[in-house]
Amino acid sequence: MTFLHRRTRQTKSSGDCFEEYTACFRGRKSERSMTKQMMIGVALGNGYGAQNSAWRMPWVDPANYTSFDSQVRYAQAAERGKFQFLFLPDYPALKGDVAMEAPWVSLEPMLTLAAIARETNRIGLVATGSTTFNEPYNLARQFKTLDIMSHGRVGWNAVPSWDPAVAANFGRQLPPREEKYQRLHEVVQLVQALWGSWERDAWVLDTASGQFADPAKIKPINLSGRHVGARGPLPLPPSEQGQPVIFQAGGGGNGLEVAGRYATGVMGAPQTMEDARHQRSELRAAAQRAGRDPDEIKYFAGIMTTVASDRRAGLDRRILLTEHTFADRVVYLGQMLGLRLESASLDAPLSPEQLAAARPSPADPRSVYALQVAREGWNLRDVLAHGVIEFHPAIAGPSIEIADFMQAWFEADAADGFWVVPDVFEDGIDAFVDGVVPILQERGLFHRDYEGHTLRHHLGAPAQYGTDTRVLG
């Protein structure tokens, strides 16, 4: 597939190393493979947490929705835990039941990351930037500026928009999927070309001779495709990691091809270990098809965490947070198990007859786990409190159970790491950092400190500057 038509020589891709590297990727890779360790990211959002009712918890300031201070506090907590990155999703629209629920994205992510960048030193900063409704020049400029501001810690989650409500905010309609992904390929290639539009040593800064920069090493990119174009160059030299790394999330077969070509980090939403293993191996194969080393792509599985002193305390906390959903969810639980269930059933476990009749629905991969929990004899309120109907696998209980879960998936090659979605940010990140992280470190599964300063280094990603000529097709 060809997306961009060159008018002049394109900025070259470089295999050289930036920042504090003394060894290039190959050297680091062999060091890493001796002690394979997982990586961890945390997803932030509206200032409250994964659960809709987090804003109402007595220990949460309900004004956090617009608080940069709270976002900074969460980032610092994750950095204390040596997380490789934090992730800010984006959804430029207002939707949902604002009468009772806080929207899941509030403050604009790039400005939020700018505030966080100034108050943290090591943690990677990843944000979504839509490839559907942004011009590549703006994306290139903003992400590169943030990358320079943070000394090389930025990642761009390059995804297309999917919601007509977002399209309406740009006075547009959602393009057909094929067009959306064509535009995505053009945007990513163009952004990377703009990032590489200054050769690494173009910024001379020789005060004695008076030479500021070498114009021979700063070139327009002159790229135009079917959907976007830009002349360039950007007025920006390389950052300490050269340029931001690319992340990708979701998007089925199209997303797989995007990730295979460009992504260093992929945030997946698998429901089961088998699903995660499958997704990870598909991604690795896609990277190989694109001419890359499969180890260049890191797959992160999403998990929802409720850290508590024991299982009972974890379930009680999740009941406090999610009970308002149970009347609807118990009916859906019935559909997952092929049973008729309603609110009145919540206080009792499934009867022996119901258990004998229950069949996990093949339409929902969460059904097998739901039945497994029900067989343990919990009442249905507790079955739901286990998080059997959640966007990601949910673990509610003592730190050791969360660590065991992560270890099992990691050692089964189901993930290179995890993006953690705490139930309530205010105390959930600290609880994970103080409880789960030391166990993983003790087991040799997670690093005790940052080994480098840039996100590229944290992720073990090869140096890249400009477009990756291996994947242009």
Ligand X SMILES: Cc1cc2nc3c(=O)[nH]c(=O)nc-3n(C[C@H](O)[C@H](O)[C@H](O)COP(=O)(O)O)c2cc1C
Binding-site ranges for ligand X (CB under 6 A): 89-91, 128, 159-162, 177, 249-252, 254-255, 267, 269, 302
Q: How far is the CB of 103 from ligand X (least distance, A)?
A: 13
Q: How far is the CB of 151 from ligand X (least distance, A)?
A: 24
Euclidean distance between CA atoms 43 and 261, whole angstroms: 24
Q: Closer CB to ligand X, residue 86 or residue 333?
A: 86
Q: How far is the CB of 459 from ligand X (least distance, A)?
A: 16
| Phi and psi torsions of 262, nearest 5° | -115, -25
CB half-sphere exposure, 403, CA atoms < 13 A: 20
Q: How far is the CB of 247 from ligand X (least distance, A)?
A: 9
Q: Closer CB to ligand X, residue 232 or residue 387?
A: 387
Q: Closer CB to ligand X, residue 159 or residue 358?
A: 159
The two tokens of residue 153 are: 């810690």
Euclidean distance between CA atoms 124 and 453, whole angstroms: 9
Q: Closer CB to ligand X, residue 210 or residue 252?
A: 252
Q: Closer CB to ligand X, residue 172 or residue 177?
A: 177
Q: Closer CB to ligand X, residue 167 or residue 319?
A: 167
Which residues, including other chains, have CB under 8 Å from residue 400's CB and lie 6 or more apart? 439
Euclidean distance between CA atoms 345 and 336, whole angstroms: 15
Q: How far is the CB of 304 from ligand X (least distance, A)?
A: 12
Q: How far is the CB of 254 from ligand X (least distance, A)?
A: 5
Q: Closer CB to ligand X, residue 161 or residue 243?
A: 161
Helical packing angle, 399-411 and 425-442, nearest 10°: 60
Q: Closer CB to ligand X, residue 92 or residue 360?
A: 92
Q: Closer CB to ligand X, residue 184 or residue 431?
A: 184
CB 463 within 8 A of CB 21: yes
Q: How far is the CB of 144 from ligand X (least distance, A)?
A: 20
Q: Closer CB to ligand X, residue 269 or residue 320?
A: 269
Euclidean distance between CA atoms 440 and 435, whole angstroms: 9
CB 462 within 8 A of CB 25: yes
Q: How far is the CB of 211 from ligand X (least distance, A)?
A: 43
CB half-sphere exposure, 189, CA atoms < 13 A: 29
Beta-strand runs (E) in 80-153: 85-88, 124-130
Angle ∠(453,454,460) on CA atoms, nearest 5: 110
Euclidean distance between CA atoms 71 and 391, whole angstroms: 23
Q: How far is the CB of 159 from ligand X (least distance, A)?
A: 3
Cis status of the peptide bond prior to 360, with omega within 30 of 0: no
Q: How far is the CB of 192 from ligand X (least distance, A)?
A: 19
Q: Closer CB to ligand X, residue 64 or residue 128?
A: 128
Euclidean distance between CA atoms 107 and 355, whole angstroms: 46
| Phi and psi torsions of 378, nearest 5° | -70, 150
Q: Closer CB to ligand X, residue 270 or residue 466?
A: 270
Amino acid at 172: R
Which residues, including other chains, have CB under 8 Å from residue 94's CB and lie 6 or more apart? 103
Euclidean distance between CA atoms 266 and 281, whole angstroms: 12
Euclidean distance between CA atoms 468 and 466, whole angstroms: 7
Q: How far is the CB of 56 from ligand X (least distance, A)?
A: 24
Estimate to the nearest angstrom the gap between the alpha carbon of 267 and the chain centroid: 5
Q: How far is the CB of 164 from ligand X (least distance, A)?
A: 12
Euclidean distance between CA atoms 90 and 210, whole angstroms: 43
Residue with tokens 């009970």: 323
DSSP structure class, residue 296: G
| Phi and psi torsions of 91, nearest 5° | -150, 90
Euclidean distance between CA atoms 420 and 399, whole angstroms: 13
